[in-house]
Structure 1
Amino acid sequence: MITKYGYDVFFTIAAVCLVIILLALLFVEPKSYRYSLIVVSFAVLGFVTNFFRDPERRTPNGKHLIIAPADGKVVVIKQVQENEFFHEKVWQVSIFMSPLNVHVNRNPVSGVVKHTRYVKGEFFAAFEDKASEKNEQMIVGIENAEGKVMMKQIAGFIARRIVCPLKPGDTLHAGERFGMIKFGSRVDVFLPLTVEVKTKTGDVTVAGETILGEFPGLRMEN
């Protein structure tokens, strides 16, 4: 399935590729040029189809769980001073998404959106630490009975379009789709220090399925 967040780009590129293939079949000579154009067009079409894919996911049940919002690799786990939503020291867990990953983002927790802010910034490589502060990004703060979670969708060197329709007051359900970042990017997740982080640097995450952490309520019940 192709994500609705990528319909505009996907169908535009697909149409261009199909036109090139048709023109190559009808008019291009010699055959070596014709076949080269066809192969390149199919390769581009295959890449964008793979990039905008949107597979179904099975989200673990548990109101205390914090679920990965993105497919990719954990590149940063550290404590930072967060002054946008928490206004205190928190955990930062950063997930880098390569162009080969699924780029649809999913809600890490159920709750209500309390804060959003779009930042028009730079386009450093998404895996660099300074990308978290300086790159184009969409910031979303969520709150529920267990606590707060903040996300940053961060555009990378290639990705220059963030899709996020969320606004304050929206009710979210863990694991549901909420947007994407097109063509390579990163998502930072900020968690209270009371959260037990369940992942480590280098781990591969699956959006909507991988558990990043647990609020303390679950540990107290066990």
Structure 2
Amino acid sequence: MLIATVITVCLGYYSIAIVFFILALFFANFFRNPKRVIPTEPDVILSPADGKIMEIADVYEDLYLHRECKKVTIFLSVFDVHANRAPIEGKITYRHYTMGSFLPAFKEEVGFENERHTICIENDKTEVLVTQIAGLLARRIVSWTDLDSQLERGQLYGMIKFGSCTEIYMDKNVEICIEKGQHVTAGDTIIGRLHHE
């Protein structure tokens, strides 16, 4: 976009150059990856995405974990950072990509109908399932990991482009540390704490 801006300025098309420049600023803002200070506190689960907490619910997870879980849904607007980070350290033990529709990411049925990518991260204390869900504008889910990849807590592992939703499923005994409507940041906000029985 910056090259297009320079070319249109050189050709004297200033109004078009302004449009290209605004688009360049938008893309630069969208693909930003600000540095995050990863909490070192043990037994915490971090937010996998930036955005607004849309739902906190007790559900039965039937894709991989097959048990009662706590589910947190995060809505990402086009103004949020769209890079996803690992909520815990561990190995990816499950990975599944599903093609689908592109409904608005705030609709309840997006987790079932939209394009999505799910991974399970497991360590010796717990396992979490994280699903990246495409939205109305998000037409591509990017993952930089493979099955059996080892992730550090807070490590970048993927991105959903242009507006989306992220879901995380945690053990039933996890203490939830956020509330509905709260804005969270990936790899920074503690969303849960493990309780050992």
Alignment of 1:67-78 (within 5 A): 67-78=46-57
For normalisation by structure 2, the TM-score amounts to 0.95
Question: What is the aligned partner in structure 2 of residue 167 from structure 1?
Answer: 146
Please state if 1:55 is matched with 2:34.
Answer: yes
CA shift, 1:134, in A, is 1.1
How far apart, CA to CA, are the structure 2 residues paired with 1:164 and 1:130? Answer: 23
Return structure 1 stretches of 4+ with deviation > 3 angstroms: none
Unpaired runs of 5+ residues, structure 1, are 1-13, 29-33
Residue type of the alignment partner of 2:127: K
* CA offset digits 1:113-167 (Å, max 9, x no partner): 1100000011111111100111100010111122110000000010010001322
Higher fraction of helix: 1
Question: What is the aligned partner in structure 2 of residue 5 from structure 1?
Answer: none
CA shift, 1:79, in A, is 1.2
Alignment of 1:200-219 (within 5 A): 200-217=179-196
How far apart, CA to CA, are the structure 2 residues paired with 1:165 and 1:54? Answer: 15
| Structure number with larger C-alpha Rg | 1
How far apart, CA to CA, are the structure 2 residues paired with 1:151 and 1:66? Answer: 12
How far apart, CA to CA, are the structure 1 residues paired with 2:111 and 2:117? Answer: 11
How far apart, CA to CA, are the structure 2 residues paired with 1:39 and 1:125? Answer: 29
For normalisation by structure 1, the TM-score amounts to 0.85
Please state if 1:136 is matched with 2:115.
Answer: yes
Q: Which of 148, 157, 176 does residue 178 from structure 1 map onto?
A: 157
Identical columns (%)? 36
CA shift, 1:81, in A, is 1.2
Equivalenced residues, count = 197
CA shift, 1:63, in A, is 3.3
3-state SS of paired residue (1:216): coil
Question: What is the aligned partner in structure 2 of residue 18 from structure 1?
Answer: 3
Q: Which of 170, 175, 184 does residue 196 from structure 1 map onto?
A: 175
3-state SS of paired residue (1:116): strand
3-state SS of paired residue (1:39): helix
Unpaired runs of 5+ residues, structure 2, are none
3-state SS of paired residue (2:170): strand
Q: Which of 58, 62, 72 does residue 83 from structure 1 map onto?
A: 62
Residue type of the alignment partner of 1:163: V
How far apart, CA to CA, are the structure 2 residues paired with 1:69 and 1:148? Answer: 14
Question: What is the aligned partner in structure 2 of residue 4 from structure 1?
Answer: none
**Conserved? CA contact 2:8–2:17, under 8 Å:** no
Residue type of the alignment partner of 2:95: T
Residue type of the alignment partner of 2:55: V
CA shift, 1:24, in A, is 4.4
Please state if 1:112 is matched with 2:91.
Answer: yes
**Conserved? CA contact 1:63–1:110, under 8 Å:** no
3-state SS of paired residue (2:4): helix
3-state SS of paired residue (1:209): coil
How far apart, CA to CA, are the structure 2 residues paired with 1:205 and 1:147? Answer: 22
